[in-house]
Amino acid sequence: MAARSKIPLEYYLAISRAVAGELDFQNVLNKIAEAVQSKLLLYDHLDVAIVSPGDSSMHVAFETGVETHWGKTRDTQPNDLSPVRHVLNGKVSHILTGDAWEDDRFHFEGASDAPIYEANLHSRMHVPLYVHGEVLGTLNVSSHRKNAYTDEDLAITQNIADLISPYVYALNMSEQARVSALAEGAARGREQSLRVGALRLTEAMEAERQRLGMELHDQTLAELSAVYHQVTRLSEQPKPKPGELGQIADSIAHSISELRGIIENAKPGVLELFGLTQAIEAQLERATIGIERAVKVSVTDATDDLLDGGPDPIRTAVFRIVQEAVTNAIKHSRCSWITVKLTSTAQHIRIVVANDGDEPAEGWRRSSGGVDNIRIRAALISSHVEFSRNANGIGSQTDLTIPLSALTRSPESDDPSTTRLHKFAQLERQMP
Ligand SMILES: Nc1ncnc2c1ncn2[C@@H]1O[C@H](COP(=O)(O)OP(=O)(O)OP(=O)(O)O)[C@@H](O)[C@H]1O
Ligand SMILES: [Mg+2]
């Protein structure tokens, strides 16, 4: 790349301008990455590792470009297992390597170095993000090419790190509360996570309400108006023409079936009447009706209907999570089968929704749509969810783990998260 002295200030200011006003950490990083790529450095992978404010021996990574295990897990990881541990721990001022595959600094007992090979990262630069003289994290830039970076590039990377450190620090204060809450279930953090989750879910529900209103307006109301006009016209004629009454009956039957579909989607009635497994079976059937390709579906429940004995909000959340995972498989993956498996151990219930379709596109876990709602619903029931590609490279799966303790917690308890959960259940029930 160009020598440091020749980089106009304007290029660095482009970074500040790009991130101004952005509050979502991932969006900020994406904007920084775009500005860096277009003006300052070429790279194939860029990530930021942030030291946990509550525990400086741990960190969490956010990445752009190629997606790797580092960014997939939003749980905090020990600094000592990071290939850049010495920068994170403040022992060295930077690392610059021409080939990370061969560089012993990245490979040691227990090192989280698999992504280096999997994502084909050879040249790498790692510089610290400093705030108040402390290492807040590292900025990591990698290329598929060997010996791609010079000392000049390293200096540019450090300049970028210095520029973004205060912004990252400020965002980290709020983001970290949410992330560590999800990962560790710490009571205070969990409250914060639930607050953010509550807000997002309320927004999602409001959007859903609007969607329903629009569907009722555009579909059912439009059809009923057409029927009304047909009937009015008929009433003015002495005798209906053959087939006219039949047409009206067909239109009404169509409206009824549309309306039924809208109601079914809004409220999982089967869930309340027949339990989770049947509701999931019904959902799988509904989801596959009317699509062109054949999709085999199956539900196996080896938990002895454990979830049906637990609190309603948990069952409803699980149903909604499975519903979104199934909808996504149908909508995005071109799969030929979908399986839903419920199993249990002495500590957990596990629900895995898998399909054999296309691999999801890069960055799908960062979606702020249904995938994020799944994550929020899981957090609200104190559960853990992982989205992964299947091991054989075909299709993907959504893997939800619910601690059994969540099923026995009393709904009337004073635990704020439980009370909040019940408020959600009420809200969900009130949906049209
Ligand atoms: N099972 C899947 N197979 C392949 N790709 C998937 C799958 N699930 C999700 N994706 C990808 O992840 C993206 C994000 O999914 P998400 O559910 O968040 O949003 P959406 O389905 O596009 O919209 P929404 O759920 O808000 O209606 C999808 O657009 C799709 O590209
Ligand atoms: Mg979706």
Q: Which atom of ligand 1 is nearest to the CA of 398?
A: 1
pLDDT at 269: 58
Beta bridge partners of 387: 398
What length does the chain have? 432
Q: Which atom of ligand 1 is nearest to the CA of 361?
A: 31
Q: Which of 67, 64, 8 is nearest to 33 (CA)?
A: 64
Query: 339-349, pLDDT tens digit by residue?
Result: 999 999 989 99
Query: Which pLDDT band, with edges at 50, 70 and 90, does 37 fall under?
Result: confident
User: CA angle at residue 42 from 36 to 44, to 5 degrees?
Assistant: 100
Tell me the best of 334, 367, 396 to mutate to test the pocket of ligand 1, counting ligand atoms within 8 Å of each CB and taking the most. Answer: 367
Q: Is 17 exposed, middle or buried (0-12, 13-18, 19+ CB in 10 A)?
A: exposed
Does the structure show a pLDDT above 50 at 3?
A: no
Query: 251-269, pLDDT tens digit by residue?
Result: 888 888 887 777 766 655 5
Query: Which pLDDT band, with edges at 50, 70 and 90, does 232 fall under?
Result: confident
Does the structure show a pLDDT above 90 at 96?
A: yes
Does the structure show a pLDDT above 50 at 412?
A: no
- For residues 204, 210, 216, 217, the Cα torsion angle rounded to the nearest 10 degrees is -160
Q: Is 295 exposed, middle or buried (0-12, 13-18, 19+ CB in 10 A)?
A: buried
Query: 100-151, pLDDT tens digit by residue?
Result: 999 999 999 989 898 999 899 999 999 999 988 889 999 999 999 999 999 9
Query: Which pLDDT band, with edges at 50, 70 and 90, does 74 fall under?
Result: low
Centroid of ligand 2 to alpha carbon of 329 (angstroms): 9
Given a contact cutoff of 8 angstroms between Cβ atoms, the answer to whether 143 and 122 are in contact is yes
CA distance 165 to 158: 10
Centroid of ligand 2 to alpha carbon of 327 (angstroms): 6
Buried b (16+ CB within 10 A) or exposed e, 230-239: bbeeeeeeee
Query: Which pLDDT band, with edges at 50, 70 and 90, does 303 fall under?
Result: very high
Residues 272-295 have a mean pLDDT of 84
Centroid of ligand 1 to alpha carbon of 325 (angstroms): 8
Centroid of ligand 2 to alpha carbon of 367 (angstroms): 9
Q: Which atom of ligand 1 is nearest to the CA of 371?
A: 18
Q: Which two tokens stand for residue 266?
A: 């809004």
pLDDT at 420: 47
CA distance 173 to 154: 27
Judged by DSSP in three states, 54 sits in: coil
Q: Which two tokens stand for residue 155?
A: 């200096």
Per DSSP, helices labelled H in 185-221 are: 187-215
pLDDT at 410: 45
Query: 18-30, pLDDT tens digit by residue?
Result: 877 777 777 888 8
Q: Which two tokens stand for residue 218?
A: 């555009």
Q: Which atom of ligand 1 is nearest to the CA of 329?
A: 1
CA distance 6 to 202: 50
Tell me the best of 328, 340, 399 to mutate to test the pocket of ligand 1, counting ligand atoms within 8 Å of each CB and taking the most. Answer: 328
Does the structure show a pLDDT above 60 at 429?
A: no
Given a contact cutoff of 8 angstroms between Cβ atoms, the answer to whether 187 and 71 are in contact is no
CATH architecture, range 4-184? 2-Layer Sandwich (3.30)
Task: Please give the helix or strand (H or E) that residue 301 lies within, else none.
Answer: strand 296-301
Query: In this structure, which amino acid lies at residue 355?
Result: N
pLDDT at 379: 86
Query: In this structure, which amino acid lies at residue 34?
Result: E
* Domain locations along the chain: 4-184, 199-266, 269-432
pLDDT at 432: 32
Judged by DSSP in three states, 362 sits in: coil
CA distance 123 to 141: 8
* CATH no., domain 269-432: 3.30.565.10
Please give the share of the chain, as a percent, with pLDDT higher than 70.
82
